Structure 1
Amino acid sequence: MSAPPPDAAGAGAAADGVAAGDSEDAADRAADLAADLRDAGFTSVAVRGAWGASADDAVGRGLRAPALHALGGRADPLATLGRLLVLGVPQPVATVDAALPRTRAAGLVRLGLATQQEQHVQARAVLRPQSFVDAAGEGEWWIASDLDEVALGAGGLPPDHVLGAGGASLTLAGLQLPTPARRVLDLGTGCGIQALRATRYAAEVLATDLSERALAFTRLNAALNGAPGIHTRHGSLFEPVAGERFDRVVSNPPFVITPRAGGVPAYEYRDGGLVGDALVEQVVTTAGEHLEVGGVAQLLGNWESRDGQDGLERARAWVAASTVPVDAWVVEREHLDPVEYAELWIRDGGTLPGTAEHERLLEAWLADFDRRGVTGVGLGFVLLRRPGGAPTLARYERLPQRLPREATLGTHLAEALAVHDALAQLDDDALAATVLRTAPDVTEARHHHPGSPDPSVIELRQGAAFARTVTADPALAALVGACDGELAVGPLVAAIAGLLEVDAGELRQALLPEVRGLLVDGFLTFGA
């Protein structure tokens, strides 16, 4: 990319020409661009509708020809912006001026988002509308980032590439707790997705990154989306915030396990420069000291299974080695063998299978895994909390099932933490005196052997949250079915014991731990 435009130089300027958005002039230009995009109806739904669902899905796979074909000769603002800002196809200056009457082509150039060559405008960055859903409802952002494979065509990405709203970023955004927080740290912000999401529940967000280019995009995206509460600092991991504490830390760190070998590209947005999963280990072991008491850290990560030691057990050891005691909830969403993992990230860097380069990189990855005895890699997320006393939460689990609404899991996590804390204050007698309800998304499935009147398996299924399935015996199934907000747990257990002709005390002792788990997981709720 060329040198920064004249008015982007100095304090608040972006690397390689992207205007920062925190100088007064840049903020005004970003506001003008946002108004133009709004007037043009430049939303995710409108863009998808402009070229159709099939072509939009193809764009997600790096193909732009179907979208261009669907647009045909259209020259309206939505088509013009879709071609230029999403697909990276040069557009006539006059057409861009008409689509963006406040900003015009010159404004895109001054923001560092485009260049003008004679009578055409060429994008220097992607600017996409991105819809989202959280506890407060539906919303829409405009996200600027580096030109991607759709705009660049074939070939690998440059090492300093700043990624847009990728799948991992959107997953973490959906995991963020929606509960109020005073001060939030977005560690390794990239283009600022997590920082933007945090402004939905926090007044002040500090975004850090080792990449000046990433911070420039974060500032621009904050300005485009009217988020003045986002501030940026340059530096690696927790270095820029040494000695500071936050109510919330959120991080999509550069967790990808990459061979440290000659000729293997290291991308700033995903590679932390350490061997294996050491970067995630470092974040897990040090995040707690940057949390206020009661503060929560949430991050994505990978963990290796090595020489027979399970990856989740290695994550458990990281938590145990934390510089301050922390509660922990670690969820593995996917587990890949070494070949699958290598192929995933080689393709992510733009190198296609079947090429000599792909084979060379694959060999480097597998040799790196062999050196450490890696048999598989888990991918998932980590939630850490700094308690006021001794930790009470230590949960490590695999949840590979498809989730119904991954974008709103943060609400479930917040509710689960609140229930966990409430249950810690209830002994068994208090729990037995509590009235519960079955959550509305819970259903029951019974499986019978042919001709048998009694079920061989009873399953309680959750339609929301983590879509868990719990195998229940007849007593537990009866209790869950009877929780309608009328009778407390104790009387219900006594009645079920009478029906099943079993000892009520023994049944209560068996069922109450199950009830606690179902409450935390959202199968049951408090309240009449």
Structure 2
Amino acid sequence: MSSDFPLRLGLPEPFPIIRNFLESSGYTEEFLRSHFHLPSIHFLLYPYGLQAEYLNKKYEEGDSLPLFLARLFIAGRTYDRPALEERLTSPVVAALEQLGLLIPGDTAGLRCPVIVYPALGVFVASDRGFRPEGPGYRGKDYVMSGTEHICRQFIAHISRAPCKTFLDMGTGSGLAALLATKFSEQVWAVDITPRAASYAGFNRLLNGAQNLTVLEGDLFTPVRGLSFDRIASNPPFEPPLKDGMIFSVGGEDGEAIIKRLVTEIPPYLNPGGRLYCQVCGTDRENESFDERILSWLGEARSEFDAVLFVRLTLPPNEYAIQQMLGENQDSWKLQEWNMFYHKLKATQVVIGHLILQKRASVRPTFTARRNFGPVTTQKEIEWLLDWETQCAGPDFADRLLESRPRPGLGWELHVRHGLQEGKLTPLGYTFFTTYPFETNLHVASWMAMLVSRCDGKATAAGHYQFFASRMTLSKEEYLRALGALIGADFLRIDGFEPPASPEAAAQ
């Protein structure tokens, strides 16, 4: 345990008292969002001005219990013992003191040295970045709340399908691991810093998560000899030009931790198992980010499918300016950022989610890169992974030829024209859609004609015969094109409708 960790883990008896109290108190994420009209409780956990307006007011007798708890646990208000015992009861106050969740304040009374908050159905304690009386803990091993938007995105795209074993790598406060205990039989959580491992261990006890094991160590070192059905990681990925926080800096190029994770993962995933990883890296002049990720697998490349789901791309200088503003860095620092990206020959910064899937049987592996659409969720991600996995199967070509394709919904076909010999002539065809992923698919003219012919009645084999009789077209090329059109929902077949389609909703 971290030597300066502010809480106590060695006393099991107080945890059920506090857990039962919190669960019955109405202190929920829904209450906080609704009461303060906020899209996320993250805005309450950091000093963006909302605390002064809402939470740092003095205690009023008419406050509801959840609001009182928000002022105590989030705003860090100091209250005298009689007020605490009146609202929380004496046994709860005693339990909070036993665990270090209540300590003497700077003035007379008691305060909470950390933040304790509801998140996604569990209760989490993590470092306090501010206090009404001044700054909170901001050491390099600071443990952030896990309520930040990018953390929520990461958690939202992890599969909730039941599994036997789950590993949360770089667990921080342990939030992702706690959520995994609801669908995985056994969960492990690992972090390199003693402070983070201590918080995760404390939160395990706070939530009564008996199927969670928390370990301290560097990446896979603490779990050698084990393998998992699912591994999730939100690793450090910022360049070393930032503040030096352990949770944020990803090595000399920002990708070093992600590279180690991908390089070392092969023996730790069971066949059919997946890595869900939040990533940030760069496309470079002669190599895309996803191509570089595949190279990190080395000799194990033939065992893994890989899909990079891109949420955002930015020019390097624009990303640098955003990071500088977020860190309040001086303007001269921009030159250092620009030199850093120039040295890498970076063309754009890529932010998104990586999924590696270890194949469960002997078959060709697949790779893909998709851009998030406005309403892309974890369901669309799982749909695509299922589709690509089926396409790589040994008998899928025959099944695809027997299908009866029909048009998807909501897409557009853009036709580029130009003058040729004085006549306006089609020069290029591009299908565009924003669902299930934002896709621009440049196609040959015959593919545009194929979509127009698909009415759900004729088989894919019949369409192939039509085109093969009029042009040189191999069956393999035809099936690849058909698979690409279905995988982007320009065409649909029975049994593989996207999650938001009427057909899928009715199933």
TM-score (ref. length: structure 2): 0.79
Aligned to 1:75: 63
Quote how far apart the aligned CAs of 1:235 are: 0.6
Question: What CA distance in whole angstroms lies between the structure 2 residues aligned with 1:86 and 1:97?
Answer: 18
Of the three residues 82, 101, 104, the one matched with 2:89 is 101
Partner of 1:50: 35
Cα deviation 1:245-286 (Å, max 9, x = unaligned): 222221111222214xxxx64212222555542221111122
For residues 255 and 50 of structure 1, do their structure 2 counterparts lie closer, same or farther at Cα, with a shift above 3 Å needed?
same
> C-alpha distance in 1, partners of 2:259/2:415?
46
How big is the shift at 1:367? 4.9
Amino acid at match of 1:240: P
Distance 1:40 1:167 in 2: 26
The 5 A counterparts of 1:169-184 are: 169-184=151-166
Q: Distance in 2 between matches of 1:236 and 1:433?
A: 50
**Partner of residue 242, structure 1:** 224
Distance apart, 1:162 and its partner CA: 0.3
Q: Does 1:385 pair with 2:357? A: yes
Could you tell me how far apart the structure 2 residues matched to 1:55 and 1:191 are? 18
| 1:261-272 aligned within 5 A | 265-272=243-250
**Cross-structure match for 1:404:** 375
1:40 aligns with 2:25: yes
| Residue number in structure 1 paired with 2:481 | 514
CA distance, structure 2, for counterparts of residue 475 and residue 376 of structure 1 = 35
The range that moved more, 120-129 or 265-274, is: 265-274
Q: Which of 387, 403, 408 is matched with 1:434 structurally? A: 403
Q: Compared with structure 1, are the counterparts of its residues 115 and 313 closer, same or farther at alpha carbon in structure 2 (3 Å cutoff)? A: same
Match of 1:303 in 2: 281
Name the CA distance, whole Å, in 2 between partners of 1:91 and 1:116: 10
User: After the TM superposition, which residues 158-173 of structure 1 pair with which residues of structure 2 at under 5 Å, given as runs?
Assistant: 158-165=139-146, 166-173=148-155
Q: 1:141 maps to what in 2?
A: 122
Distance 2:115 2:363 in 1: 44
The question of whether the paired residues in 2 share the 8 Å contact of 1:334 and 1:378 is answered with yes
CA contact (8 A) 2:430 2:440 kept: no
Change (3 A) 1:469 1:275: closer
Q: Is the 8 A contact 1:255 1:270 kept in 2?
A: yes
- Letter of the 1:66 counterpart: E
The corresponding residue for 2:452 is 478
Whether 1:284 and 2:262 are equivalent positions in the alignment is yes
Secondary structure of the equivalent of 1:443? coil
Identity between Structure 1 and Structure 2 (%): 20
Query: Which consecutive residues of structure 1, in runs of 5 or more, have no partner in the other structure?
Result: 1-11, 132-139
Partners of 2:438 and 2:57 lie apart in 1 by: 37
Offset at residue 192 of structure 1 (A): 1.0
Residue 418 of structure 1 is matched in structure 2 by: 386
User: Is 1:461 aligned to residue 448 of structure 2?
Assistant: no
Residue 137 (structure 1) aligns with: none
- Number of aligned pairs? 477
Change (3 A) 1:460 1:525: farther
- Corresponding residue for residue 9 of structure 1: none
Quick one: distance in 1 between partners of 2:437 and 2:151? 19
Deviation of the 1:214 alpha carbon = 0.9
Separation of aligned partners in 2, 1:86 and 1:341: 31
C-alpha deviation, 1:103, in angstroms: 5.5
Q: 1:391 to 1:299 in 2, by over 3 A?
A: farther
- Give the C-alpha shift of residue 425 in structure 1: 2.6
Matched residues in 1 for 2:265 and 2:40: separation? 42
- What is the RMSD of the two structures over their aligned residues, measured on CA atoms? 4.0
Match of 1:141, as an amino acid?
V
Residues 366 and 388 of structure 2 are in contact (CA less than 8 Å); yes or no, is this contact kept in structure 1?
Answer: no
Of 209, 219, 243, which residue of structure 1 is paired with 2:191? Answer: 209
Tell me how far 1:42 sits from its aligned partner. Answer: 0.9
Q: Offset of 1:398 from its aligned partner?
A: 5.2
**Residues in 1 aligned to 2:411 and 2:333: alpha-carbon distance in whole angstroms:** 48
* 2:54 alignment partner AA: A
Instruction: Note the alpha carbon deviations across 1:345-388, whole angstroms, 9 max, x for none.
Output: 4555xx43xxxx54465555455445545554322222112225
Larger deviation, residues 160-169 vs 376-385:
376-385
In structure 2, C-alpha distance between the alignment counterparts of 1:87 and 1:425, rounded to whole Å: 58
- Write out per-residue CA displacement over residues 418-451 of structure 1, whole angstroms, 9 at most, x where no aligned residue: 3323222335443121356777xx32446799xx
Q: Deviations over 1:496-519 (max 9, x none)?
A: x69xx9849969877543332244
CA shift, 1:40, in A, is 1.9
Contact persistence 1:88–1:126 (CA under 8 A):
yes
Partner of 2:201: 219
Query: Does the aligned pair in 2 maintain the 1:34–1:224 contact within 8 Å?
Result: yes
Q: Kindly indicate whether the alpha-carbon contact (under 8 Å) linking 1:33 and 1:100 is maintained by their aligned counterparts in 2.
A: no
Map of 2:100 onto structure 1 = 112
Structure 2 distance, partners of 1:304, 1:223, is: 39
1:326-345 map, 5 Å: 326-345=304-323
Cα deviation, residue 494, structure 1:
7.6
Stretch of structure 1 that moved more, 218-227 or 203-212: 218-227
Question: Relative contact order (C-alpha < 8 Å, sep 6+): which is higher?
Answer: 1
Alignment of 1:127 onto 2:116: yes
Higher mean C-alpha displacement, 67-76 vs 278-287: 67-76
Q: Which moved more, 1:73-82 or 1:181-190?
A: 73-82
Partner of 1:5: none
1:306-358 CA distance string (max 9 Å, x none): 5654433322322346587422212332233444444444555xx43xxxx54
Match of 1:86 among 74, 98, 110: 74
Q: Could you tell me whether the CA contact under 8 Å between 1:300 and 1:381 is conserved in 2?
A: yes
Does residue 19 of the first structure (1) align with residue 8 of the second (2)? yes
Farther-moved stretch of structure 1 (76-85 vs 467-476): 467-476
> Could you tell me how far apart the structure 2 residues matched to 1:97 and 1:66 are?
26
What letter matches 2:19 in structure 1? A
Given residue 333 of structure 1, which amino acid in structure 2 is its aligned partner?
Answer: R
Question: 2 CA distance for matches of 1:214 and 1:89?
Answer: 24
1:54 and 1:430 map into 2 onto residues whose CA distance is: 45
Q: Quick one: structure 1 residues 212 and 361, their matched pair in 2 at CA, closer, same or farther if it must change by over 3 Å?
A: farther
- Contact kept, 8 Å, 1:295 with 1:385, in 2: the verdict is yes
User: Can you list the C-alpha shifts for 1:126-170, whole angstroms capped at 9, x where unaligned?
Assistant: 122223xxxxxxxx2222211135878679932111011222322
Q: Which moved more, 1:380-389 or 1:470-479?
A: 470-479
1:65 is aligned to 52
- For 1:175, the aligned partner's letter is H
Structure 1 position 300, deviation (Å): 1.7
